[in-house]
Amino acid sequence: MNIDFKLYLITDRALFSTQEMFFTAIEHALEGGVKVVQLREKDMPTRQLLSLAYKMREMTAHYNAKLIINDRADIALSVAADGVHLGQAGMPAFAVRKVIGDMAIIGVSTHTMEEAIAAEQEGADFITFGPLYDTPSKRAYGRPVGVEQLKKVAGKVSLPVFGIGGIKETTIGEVIGHGAQGIALISGILGASDVRAAAVHYLKEVGE
């Protein structure tokens, strides 16, 4: 699977006081050139998540961008998403592949060398690795792993690796310099006062 993007935007509706503001921010990010969005709203009931996914599919298709659904292969299939992103507690990539087919993208969240190697062996197309730096959204996963560990992982697996967790514009060069193909962001773009400008800026920084 050709993973041709370098910026991976992940949603968090908790950053917004209304759903309308959430959709507006996503649209501004797409207008800014973001080409891949992961819908990651783990606490949302299935029917609400499905409704949100349909809307996200409509938006991403309009901008010729890819839509990845967090964990839920059933919802990904229902809305004709481009793939699924898997956590460590869910189904392994090889099992999800049987459900969503060979043409879909499968990403896996990893936090250790062992998880990264397992993701590759189980058939993932790419991995996120982190948290690289301290960030509120990733504190549940423990202390930051740091860019030196990123470098070791990127040197060990042949999959594209996306750094995640607390990445700022000042650390992008460090992350890419330590072997990441790209970066995964939430608040760096969606938390910006000007989402469209932030997307343009980060895309430029990663060379996409």
Catalytic site residues?
Answer: 40, 109, 138
Q: Which of these, 113, 43, 48, 34, lies nearest to 71 by C-alpha position?
A: 43
Of 158, 113, 207, 112, which Cα lies nearest the Cα of 1?
158
For residue 120, give every residue at least 6 positions away whose Cβ sits within 8 Å of its Cβ, in sequence order, or none.
127, 157, 158, 159
Backbone angles phi, psi at 34, to 5 degrees: -60, 130
Helices (H) and strands (E) in the chain, counts: 9, 8
Peptide bond into 45 cis (omega under 30): no
